[in-house]
Structure 1
Amino acid sequence: MSPTIFVIVLCAALLHATWNAMVKGAGDKYVSTAAVVIGQALFALPTLFFVPAPDAASYPLILAGIALHLGYQFFLMAAYKVGDLTQVYPLARGSAPLIVALVSTLFLGVDLAPMQLAAIALIGLGIMSITFVRRADGIHNRRAALLALGTGLFIASYSLVDGYGARHAGTAIGFYGWLTIGNAIAFVAISALRRRDALARVGTQGLPVLVVGGAASYGAYALVIWSFTQAPIALVTALRETSIVFALFIGVFALGEKLNLAKVVSTMATLAGVILLRFSARQGG
Structure 2
Amino acid sequence: MSDWILAIEGTEAAPRLAMALALLAAFLHAVFGALQKGRHDPLLARGVIDASYGLMAAPFAFFVVPWPEPHMWPIFAGAFVIHALYKWATLAAYRRGAFTVVYPVMRGTGPLFAVIGAWLIFGESFAPLQWLGVGVLLAGLYGLALWNMAHVTVARDTLVPALWFAVLTGLFVALYTTYDAYGIRAAADPFTFLAWFFFIDGLLYPFLAWAFWRRLPEKPPIGPLALRGVFGGLVAFASFGSIMLATRLDSVGEAAVLRETSTVFAAAIGWLFLKESIGPVRLALMGLIAGGAVIVEFGG
Matches of residues 186-225 of structure 1 in structure 2 within 5 Å?
186-193=204-211, 195-197=213-215, 203-225=222-244
CA distances 1:21-50 after superposition (whole Å, capped 9, x unpaired): 233332322211112222222332233233
Q: Answer yes or no: is 1:244 the counterpart of 2:263.
A: yes
For the residue of structure 2 that corresponds to 1:204, the secondary structure is helix
Paired amino acid for 1:23? Q
Q: Could you say which residue in structure 2 is the equivalent of 1:175?
A: 193
Q: Could you say which residue in structure 1 is the equivalent of 2:11?
A: none
Change (3 A) 1:6 1:218: same
Matches of residues 122-271 of structure 1 in structure 2 within 5 Å?
122-134=136-148, 135-136=151-152, 141-193=159-211, 195-197=213-215, 203-271=222-290
Change (3 A) 1:13 1:46: farther
TM-score normalised by L of structure 2? 0.85
Change (3 A) 1:169 1:131: same
Change (3 A) 1:158 1:244: same
Q: Which runs of 5+ in 1 are unaligned?
A: none
TM-score normalised by L of structure 1? 0.89
* Cα distance in 1 for residues equivalent to 2:275 and 2:82: 34
Paired amino acid for 1:27? H
* Cα distance in 2 for residues equivalent to 1:202 and 1:35: 12
Q: Could you say which residue in structure 1 is the equivalent of 2:78?
A: 64
* Cα root mean square deviation, aligned: 2.3
* Alignment check: 8 A CA contact 1:97 1:156 kept: yes
Q: 1:92 aligns with which of 106, 109, 112?
A: 106
With 176-185 and 64-73 compared, the bigger mean Cα shift is at 176-185
Q: Could you say which residue in structure 1 is the equivalent of 2:5?
A: none
The Cα shift of 1:196 comes to: 4.2
Q: Which runs of 5+ in 2 are unaligned?
A: 1-13
Q: Could you say which residue in structure 1 is the equivalent of 2:133?
A: 119
The Cα shift of 1:192 comes to: 4.9
Paired amino acid for 1:167? R
With 103-112 and 155-164 compared, the bigger mean Cα shift is at 103-112
Paired amino acid for 1:131? A
The Cα shift of 1:161 comes to: 0.8
Flag the structure with larger Rg: 2
Q: Could you say which residue in structure 2 is the equivalent of 1:53?
A: 67
CA distances 1:248-272 after superposition (whole Å, capped 9, x unpaired): 1111122210111221111000110
* Cα distance in 2 for residues equivalent to 1:112 and 1:185: 37
Change (3 A) 1:279 1:67: same
CA distances 1:172-201 after superposition (whole Å, capped 9, x unpaired): 221122122212112234445555457x86
Paired amino acid for 1:73? K
Q: Could you say which residue in structure 1 is the equivalent of 2:118?
A: 104
Paired amino acid for 2:16? P
The Cα shift of 1:67 comes to: 0.8
* Cα distance in 2 for residues equivalent to 1:273 and 1:138: 30
* Alignment check: 8 A CA contact 1:53 1:175 kept: no
With 40-49 and 219-228 compared, the bigger mean Cα shift is at 40-49
Change (3 A) 1:103 1:5: closer
Q: Could you say which residue in structure 1 is the equivalent of 2:93?
A: 79
Change (3 A) 1:138 1:116: farther
* Cα distance in 1 for residues equivalent to 2:166 and 2:35: 20
Q: 1:38 aligns with which of 44, 51, 73?
A: 51
Percent identical: 25
